[in-house]
Chain A
Amino acid sequence: MSEVIKIRRGLDIKLAGKAEKIFMRAEPSEYYAVKPVDFHNLIPKLTVKADNIVKAGTPLFYDKYCPEILFTSPVSGKVIAINRGERRRILEVVIKADPEIQYESFSIGEPSKMSTGEVKENLLKSGLWPMIRQRPYDIIANPEEKPKAIHISAFNTAPLAPDYDFTVKGCEVEFQKGIDALFKLTYGKIHLNINYEYPASQVFTKAQNVQINKFSGPHPAGNVGVQIHNIDPLNKGDLVWYISPQDVIIIGRLFDKGIYDASKVIALTGSEVLKPRYYKLIGGASIRNVLDNNVSEGINRYISGNVLTGTKIHADGYLGYYDSQITVIPEGDHYDFLGWALPGFEKYSASRAFWSWFLPNKMYRMDTNLNGGLRAFVLTGQYEKVFPMDIYPVQLIKAVIIEDIDQMEKLGIYEVAPEDFALCEFVCTSKKDVQAIIRKGLDLMIKEML
């Protein structure tokens, strides 16, 4: 397929604070954490205690319902804390890193010459398996199954997202090795979905064993769910896996050097960052060093990920497993006198209800205010404008709310993930928690089906 798939519906939110394409070096972090809460539906079983010594690749915990899926440490050092939350739920396993990292050894080899079983074992033992997630349900892939395809979205269209072409620069060999490994895991194709609006990196365009699909359009064109829907929509019973490009590179490094090298390039973004740039760090790092002297005064919200789907963390919190972006925006817990009645030149809206539409090129500094009270569904047609799938979003959400499994199936619950509804949640005039509702719907389906 060499036609460009044009995504027509969607929205590019004009946020201030995009990262300049400059690499910065920050002091390497002393503290790292792996957070079980990053993995939806996971019940972790610990394999380490406080004060244990670990290497990069040593298991920290495993999945209670699938013990072969291990979660390993990204660095070597000492486990200094296991932080728990309500009802003793494990929030994070914190490690104090050695100045020089020592690595566990895993298999080295050419994935194309290895068997499926060997590739799988290497990924499971090294703790890289959780990088692979599945649709439907948007959870970690099940090693017992084989998907009909694997999708990789080579571009991220979320607000202020890092430019993947920039972050994967120079990693052709590792990327290809990662692809070769993944190729063993599916009985179908690997789809590499690139952004056709700009020339994509050679790392992607020169990759072998992949089918390249071209996309253009506003967010959520970069969402893998939207891409899957436009290439080969999921039916009941279909299984597809997906993974992000930098994680493919980490897999490539595993087979190349036999180690878990969790280095990645992330973007520090947001209106409250004085100099938004790209940083090289190891996954799970504390963000404190990167933020050092680089954030405006005031009460801010620190987000691992982007403003639509990211997780709130503390100023010295840890980068999430799947995230390659940090966003810092102001907290919005202030009152706005007659805010809904005034022209609002500085208020960004997807509608043309505020006079900000007079200024088409402005970038906005948005805070975390809810901007209204929770209401019932009133306006219609809003979600559809930012939801580029042949699925009726409001009706699906209503089916989830009333827990009608049959109707959810018929309306396409298997094809969606919460992140596909993030823009719907953003534009919702009634301030509904759409992503949480969809997550609940997916969890209901998991319970029913598995």
Chain B
Amino acid sequence: MKALRKLLDKLKPQFQKGGKLEKLHSTFDAFETFLYVPNKVTKTGTHIRDYMDMKRTMAIVVFAMLPALIFGMWNVGFQHFLATGEESDILINFLYGFKQVFPIIVVSYVSGLAVEFIFAQIRGHDVNEGFLVTGMLIPLIVPVDVPLWMVAVATVFAVIIGKEVFGGTGMNILNPALTARVFLFFAYPSEMTGTKVWVEGLKYGKDIINGFSGETILSQAAAGNTGFVNGTGEAYTVQDMFFGFIPGSIGETSTLAILVGAAILIYTGLGSWKIIFSVFFGGYFMGLVLNLFAVNPFMEIPALQQLFIGGFAFGAVFMATDPVTAAQTEKGKFIYGFLTGLLAILIRVLNPAYPEGVMMAILLMNVFAPLIDHYVIEANIKKRLSRAEDKYLEK
């Protein structure tokens, strides 16, 4: 440990003002602060500071995503071997999935961080930690067979257009991971939608059992089916949907794994329980309304099941809760969450063009979040002004 610190201290002057590598200061600083919490002390204001910093925050959020990631990797293998009809076990499934998913994670982080480093260096700022979370989110919301170059292009697009042009971490309006996903959705629709992309290897057709259909439950519902079946025709149970033994984007299938992540986020105080609960409540509410006015099988899906299928749970816990793009007032979070859940289910069921409505709903509410906050603040201002008026009149 000491040797490492000595090495960094020796190299540091070269990266500081006047040094040879002054231009790469942000890069050096990023690596140094990754290894060591810096030795800066408080100068003004409070003399002690909470140990919580941005790096710890991002680390915990990534940690909360691990259950969904690990399950997702296993599920990739599971769905694949279901399609080929081969024997497999937990370990084989997981290792197979790991082999498929890990490159996507690497590509996501490398391309995103490259953009972050370049922008930080040009601006002369520290490299911000925001991408540590986005980099893990992007792989979890894409189909497993997505070409790696597409992941790279989408990530670069999302970081530049979704975040950096606004000023970087903390300044963006739209959720960067969703920006990447929606870019893929509109730019490369054949790779992102349809019935063949959700099970690994299905679109290449090699070794697949005859007649295997790799549709997600949502696409079956959109087609108007009344019962949902897996690739070989067996019916899915509600437990399958809850535990996640269904095809879908890599991290979105297991509601249980996502809820474990939600528990971690809420307990450590990093994910707003207000948003999570409101999104689920809004979705459930819309599900009930649709059940009431049901004119087709999609609307008849029990409200609770709506919450387990598709990307709803994942969006509710990991996307809608992004503090920068969500509503920032405590009261506003309830309204924002409720409308997000409401719109997600509404778009999903009533709009034939979008089999999944969560990503659109969240992005739309990201745009409206400042407006919601504005009205919450205005209410507070009005209260203050009328209090002053009452006092004035009393006199």
The residues of A with any CB-CB pair to B shorter than 8 Å are 13, 15, 233, 235-238, 301, 303, 307-310, 312, 327, 329, 331-341, 344, 347-354, 366-382, 384, 390-392, 394-395, 410-412, 418, 422, 425-431, 433-436
Contact = CB atoms under 8 A, between A and B. Distances in A.
Interface in B303-329: 323-324, 326, 328-329
Contacts of A338: 35-36
Contacts of A13: 48
B10 interface: no
29 contacts: A233-B387, A237-B388, A307-B48, A308-B47, A310-B47, A312-B47, A329-B47, A335-B36, A341-B56, A349-B52, A351-B50, A370-B49, A371-B50, A371-B51, A372-B37, A373-B40, A373-B126, A376-B168, A378-B54, A382-B269, A384-B330, A395-B329, A395-B377, A425-B45, A427-B52, A428-B49, A429-B52, A429-B57, A435-B44
Interface string B333-353: 100000000000000000000
Interface stretch (B154-162, B288-296, B378-386): B378-386
Interface in B157-177: 167-171
A374 B60 CA distance: 19
Contacts of A237: 388
Interface in B36-66: 36-42, 44-57, 59-60
Given A307-B47, A353-B270, A370-B40, A236 B388 contact: yes
A382 B4 CA distance: 35
A392 B377 contact: yes
A355 B5 CA distance: 26
Minimum-distance CB pairs A-B, first 4: A372-B53, A376-B170, A235-B388, A339-B37
B255 interface: no
B7 interface: no
A334 B48 contact: no
Nearest to B326: A380
Contact of A372 (B55, B270, B388, B391): B55
Given A427-B50, A430-B170, 16 more contacts: A13-B48, A15-B48, A236-B388, A309-B46, A332-B39, A337-B1, A337-B5, A347-B51, A368-B41, A368-B47, A370-B49, A371-B51, A372-B52, A376-B170, A378-B324, A381-B333
A369 B5 CA distance: 17
A368 B42 contact: yes
B130 interface: yes
Contacts of A354: 51-52, 56
A393 to B, nearest CB: 11
Interface in B1-46: 1, 4-5, 33, 35-42, 44-46
Given A329-B47, A353-B268, A429-B52, A335 B37 contact: yes
Contacts of A381: 272, 323, 330, 333
B128 interface: yes
Q: Which of B51, B168, B329 has the most CB of A within 10 A?
A: B51
A16 to B, nearest CB: 12
Nearest to A395: B377
Contacts, number: 206
Nearest to A374: B126
Nearest to B8: A335
A378 B36 contact: no
B45 A375 contact: no
B50 A375 contact: no
Nearest to A348: B51
B37 to A, nearest CB: 4
A49 B350 CA distance: 84
B206 to A, nearest CB: 41
Contact of A367 (B36, B48, B167): B48
- Interface centre among A336, A370, A436, by most chain B C-beta atoms within 10 angstroms, is A370
Main secondary structure of the interface of B (DSSP, over half): loop
B267 interface: yes
A332 B52 contact: no
A244 to B, nearest CB: 20
Contacts of B128: 375-376
Contacts of B48: 13, 15, 307-308, 329, 366-368, 426
A10 to B, nearest CB: 14
Contact of A376 (B57, B171, B377, B391): B171
A42 B184 CA distance: 60
A378 B384 contact: no
Interface of A is mostly: loop
B41 A378 contact: no
A235 B56 contact: no
A331 B40 CA distance: 10
Given A353-B268, A371-B53, A380 B323 contact: yes
Most buried by B among A338, A380, A394: A380
A428 B387 CA distance: 31
Given A337-B35, A429-B53, A412 B384 contact: yes
A435 B44 CA distance: 8
B33 A373 contact: yes
A425 B43 CA distance: 13
A375 B170 contact: yes
A148 to B, nearest CB: 10
Contact of B53 (A331, A334, A373, A425): A373
Contact of A373 (B38, B268, B323): B38
Contacts of B36: 335-339
A379 B323 contact: yes
Contacts of A301: 41, 47
A335 B39 contact: yes
A422 B4 CA distance: 36
Contacts of B38: 335, 370, 372-373
A410 B51 contact: no
B50 A410 contact: no
B130 A426 contact: no
A201 to B, nearest CB: 29
Contacts of A333: 39-41
Contacts of B380: 390-392, 411
A352 B268 contact: yes
Contacts of B270: 351, 353, 379
A435 B46 contact: yes
B116 to A, nearest CB: 13
Interface centre among A236, A237, A390, A429 (most CB of B within 10 A): A429
A317 B330 CA distance: 44
A383 to B, nearest CB: 11
A308 B48 CA distance: 7
Contacts of B33: 373
Nearest to B130: A378
A344 B51 contact: yes
Nearest to B54: A375
Q: Which of A312, A351, A367 has the most CB of B within 10 A?
A: A351
